[in-house]
Amino acid sequence: MSATLNFREPYRFSAGALALAVHLAFFVLLYFGVRWQSQPPEEFMVEMWESLPNAEVLPEQEPPPPPKMEPIVQPRVVAPVPPPAKADIELRDKKAKKAEEKKAREKAAARQEAERKELEAYSERIRKQEQERIKAEQARVRAEVSAATRVQVERYQDLIRAKIRRKMSKVADVPESAEAIFRITLLPDGTVMDVALQKSSGYPAYDNAAERAIRLADPLPMPTDVTLQMMFRELKLSIRP
């Protein structure tokens, strides 16, 4: 047991030395702290005035000019522009797309309208050309028909005159230049319905002889063509010796 006590003694000496050092440091800190607080404050002087000093400015002294104040320019604050939202971008794109589609439709409509007008102008030219061609053809046919009709009318008029002369008695002292013109109304079969003197030859006996011959020649020769028969419904016929 004595050996155990002798082994622990060095540690007891170290613990005691450490406790002594701690107490010594605490004492020094306490001493200097109390001394710092016990120092008297620094002295200062107060000057007493019976009255306020004259604040007027002497005549020879000019007051200093007031300091020139520079105008304070407030910096212009520009509010930051927020980036466009996604919905705004999509709406703008849709509007631009609709505008392009509208422009394309207008161009297509204008092109179709121009094509329609061009087609109408072409059709109008073709129609006018066809009308002119038809008119020319009709005029040619009418000319041919008129020529043929005139020939047929003259032919049947000569046949009628020949039959009337065969039925007409001779009248003396009538020159060959004498001419009596009659208006004769006929039926399609050549039957004489009426005879009227339109122009006298100047010789009443010749006029009467010609009228009697027309009635005696009834029926007069008539063309078989219905169109020509219509032209003979009222026949203007001249009778010469």
| Residue 104 lies in domain | 90-241
Q: What share of the chain is helix, strand, coil (3-state, %, to 5)?
A: 55, 10, 35
Q: Tell me if 95 is assigned to some domain.
A: yes
d(CA 197, CA 1): 200
Listed residue (153, 167, 159, 157) closest to 214, CA to CA: 167
Q: Tell me if 25 is assigned to some domain.
A: no
Q: Tell me if 144 is assigned to some domain.
A: yes
CA distances 61 to 55, 57, 67, 68, 107, Å, are 12, 7, 17, 20, 90
Q: Tell me if 111 is assigned to some domain.
A: yes
pLDDT, residue 164, reads 93
Classify burial at 240, counting beta carbons within 10 Å of its beta carbon; exposed 0-12, middle 13-18, buried 19 or more: middle
Contact 239, 180 (CB under 8 A): yes
The three-point CA angle 87-90-93 to 5° equals 150
What's the CATH number where 135 sits?
Answer: 3.30.1150.10
pLDDT, residue 57, reads 45
The CB density around residue 230, as the number of other CB atoms within 10 Å, is 10
Contact 194, 229 (CB under 8 A): no
Listed residue (170, 172, 154, 176) closest to 213, CA to CA: 170
Q: Tell me if 161 is assigned to some domain.
A: yes
pLDDT, residue 94, reads 83
The answer to pTM > 0.85 is no
pLDDT, residue 51, reads 58
d(CA 10, CA 76): 81
Contact 156, 222 (CB under 8 A): yes
Q: Tell me if 41 is assigned to some domain.
A: no
Q: Count the domains in the chain.
A: 1
Long-range residue pairs from 224-230, CB within 8 A, at least 24 positions apart, any chain: 225/152, 226/188, 227/149, 228/149, 228/152, 228/153, 228/156, 229/188
Listed residue (222, 240, 144) closest to 185, CA to CA: 222
Instruction: Print pLDDT tens along the chain (241 aa).
Output: 444 444 445 555 566 677 777 777 777 776 666 555 555 555 556 566 555 555 444 455 555 666 656 666 666 666 666 655 666 777 888 888 888 888 899 989 999 999 989 898 988 989 888 888 888 877 777 776 677 778 888 899 999 999 999 999 888 888 888 999 999 999 988 999 999 999 999 999 999 999 999 999 999 999 888 888 888 888 899 998 8
Question: How are strands ordered across the β-sheet holding 180-186?
Answer: 192-199, 180-186, 234-239
pLDDT, residue 79, reads 63
Would you tell me the crossing angle of helices 204-216 and 86-167 to the nearest 10 degrees?
110
Q: Tell me if 1 is assigned to some domain.
A: no
Q: Tell me if 208 is assigned to some domain.
A: yes
